[in-house]
Amino acid sequence: MDVKTVSPASPVTYSNSGTHAAPANLQEVETVPLPVVAVELPSAATPQPLKSARDIAYELAGEAVRYDPVAIAALYRNRPLQVWRRLLSVVWTFFSFAFSLWFDKKTGRSAANEKRRAARLREILSQLGPAFIKIGQALSTRPDLVPPLYLEELTTLQDQLPAFPNEVAYQFIQEELGAHPNEIYAEITADPIAAASLGQVYKGKLKTGETVAIKVQRPGLAENIGLDIYILRRVALWAQNNFKIIRSDLAGIMDELGERIYEEMDYTHEGQNAERFAELYGNLKDIYVPKIYWEYTRRRVLTMEWITGIKLTNLEAVKAQGIDAPYLIEVGVQCSLRQLLEHGFFHADPHPGNLLATPDGQLAYLDFGMMSEVKPYQRYGLLEAVVHLVNRDFEGLARDYVKLEFLTPDTDLTPIIPALAGVFNNALGASVAELNFKSITDELSAVMYEYPFRVPAYYALIIRSLVTLEGIAINVDPEFKVLSKAYPYVAKRLLSDPAPELRASLQDLLFKQGEFRWNRLENLLNNARESDDYDVSKILNQALEYLFSQRGDFIRDRIVAELVKNLDVLSSNAVANAKAVVGEWFGVKAVPVVSPTEQKNLEHIKRIWDILQSTPGFDGMKVLQLLPQLLVKPEVQNMGQKVVGGLAQRAVARLIREFLLASEPAALPPSAAYPKTSPQLSLPAAK
């Protein structure tokens, strides 16, 4: 294959990182320079596919900075003065702030100085840099933890931080894209319209007419974050080694946070995250994900579709636009459930600045730098834990904590089970729908301190994501209950997911000591139909497929037992009605036939059929069309034989009880000998 060198009139060289070196004077750039590149000229016999703009962006971005705790430790171990200077600066800053709060309390000026102190805390976090800004952003979503004045100040950390000079931002754009911004974009705002922890955003327009957001990274980011992460990690290790009460993997949590923040510093990685997020969740109702313009995206510059929208926490502006904020919060909850429990790829930083209500009533996600993943076994473990929680099966819940890596396999669960029962019986209250994530974490904290729990690193970002979303929801609607909105999705997954783990969980939910709990099935079906993507026809097909598989033996046996019981109830009802009519003719009084439990189960079955009929997508005729196919299955014929045999046995038993045993004068009264027998005919006394 031939190689030809293409050289432009004014070449721009590459640095080792793969980025363009900026000219000395940015204002002298008048044209878009092209780099010197080696171009492979393929022969006609071996045509090569053209590279996409995204592939080119990856190549030109070069090797991104990756989080490496060993390398960071080796770097700062040789810089003790820099480390101690930073550590003392941070400690002294917070000590001074804490002292001012203490002094205000002592002098009775806490209320008078609260607004000033809140502003000072925001300034401190802003000055300390990105790592501390992230902490402030997390606190800004917790109106149940942070006083209103502090909340108002911390909210500005989401996108109203001090900006860095335009000259630096323009230099980065030129180094990354090869030309001055005025040459690349048709329009660009004179100043940034928002500044966040890792970068600042300009509004611009492409020469093809699209309005875009241009995000440019802050200078010196890797070094500043690296030092803070190193210090926080050292403090975490010291705390783990010196305080036995701390069993969580604090260093692992810091590593997880560090890895996510370092990924945020590579905007090509963020662009890839955005496209993957759009592919997985962009088809959900009222979810919108902006487009990435790869021709204008590199490691330190990201160009994406401009989104016009309002923060969900800006309730007055949202209402003025006629947007239903509680509905959009519910949309966000449903999207988060699919992120955490279905695909496992989730947005780990959903603060209000990253969730916008669009004028047409959609929820737009922004900023895909901090993403994380939940592995399949963790996703199923979380769903199983929900089932065990609903069932009040705290032994099963304790085993779930082992699966989810909160407890080691050799942990003695005997004392932990009653402790969990105490926690969740208190937290659950009247119903699961009343539960919120804060109540879970608050109630669990004491148990986790007392017993050998270790919070795994992956879980920290999940909790951060859920607690942040719940904080936004509480701000919009103080009575909003996340689990009451989440349970329809959980019900749909339990009914539709063919995974063995969830089939076992469904069985645990529906059966107790061999008895089928019709009320649980009714509740599941009733909740599942509230889920937007619930396909009842698909679920019926999956249920039939599972039922007639080898794994469905137990279910088939239980269905036979329930069919025998309920068909017997129906026939007994029919006989009782006939006896009542005949009894009226001859003056015979009939005693009720069916026990209250059996009658209640029969009512559940009727309601379940009503639920199915009212579920969107259910077609009773299609169900009837399946019957001929089912009747020829050997399993169905075997079940039919068992049902007939069971009904015959019950009929014989009833005959013996009603006519043979009733005629024995020495026998005990029927109500004493057979508390669950069918009622007898009672003749009136002879006159």
Active site positions, annotated? 349
- Paired sense of beta strands 287-288 and 363-365, if any: parallel
Can you read off the two tokens belonging to residue 538? Answer: 């698909």
Rg, the chain, Cα only: 33
State how far the Cα of 15 lies from the Cα of 250, in Å rounded to an integer.
Answer: 38
Mapped onto helix, strand or coil, the DSSP state of residue 65 is coil
580: Cβ contacts below 8 Å, ≥ 6 apart: 590
Q: To 5 degrees, how large is the angle CA 392–CA 460–CA 285? A: 80
CB-based contact 352:159 (threshold 8 Å): no
Q: To 5 degrees, how large is the angle CA 68–CA 70–CA 72? A: 70
State how far the Cα of 136 lies from the Cα of 134, in Å rounded to an integer.
Answer: 5
Q: To 5 degrees, how large is the angle CA 211–CA 215–CA 218? A: 160
* Distance separating the N- and C-terminal Cα atoms of the chain: 118
E strands within 254-389? 287-288, 301-305, 310-311, 345-347, 355-357, 363-365, 371-373
30: Cβ contacts below 8 Å, ≥ 6 apart: 183
Quick one: angle between helices 80-107 and 69-77, nearest 10? 90
Q: How far is CA 10 from CA 170, 318, 602, in A?
A: 20, 51, 85
Report the C-alpha dihedral over residues 521, 526, 528, 529, rounded to 10 degrees.
140
State how far the Cα of 156 lies from the Cα of 524, in Å rounded to an integer.
Answer: 42
Mapped onto helix, strand or coil, the DSSP state of residue 209 is coil
- Strands across the sheet containing 287-288: 287-288, 363-365, 355-357, 310-311
Amino acid identity at 233: R
Mapped onto helix, strand or coil, the DSSP state of residue 685 is coil
Least Cα distance to 117 among 88, 149, 90 occurs for: 149
State how far the Cα of 475 lies from the Cα of 324, in Å rounded to an integer.
Answer: 14
Task: State the alpha helices, DSSP H only, in 185-248.
Answer: 221-242
Q: How far is CA 124 from CA 114, 119, 351, 670, in A?
A: 15, 9, 20, 82
State how far the Cα of 676 lies from the Cα of 568, in Å rounded to an integer.
Answer: 13
CB-based contact 475:468 (threshold 8 Å): no
State how far the Cα of 399 lies from the Cα of 35, in Å rounded to an integer.
Answer: 59
State how far the Cα of 611 lies from the Cα of 502, in Å rounded to an integer.
Answer: 23
State how far the Cα of 228 lies from the Cα of 233, in Å rounded to an integer.
Answer: 8
- Paired sense of beta strands 37-41 and 2-6, if any: antiparallel
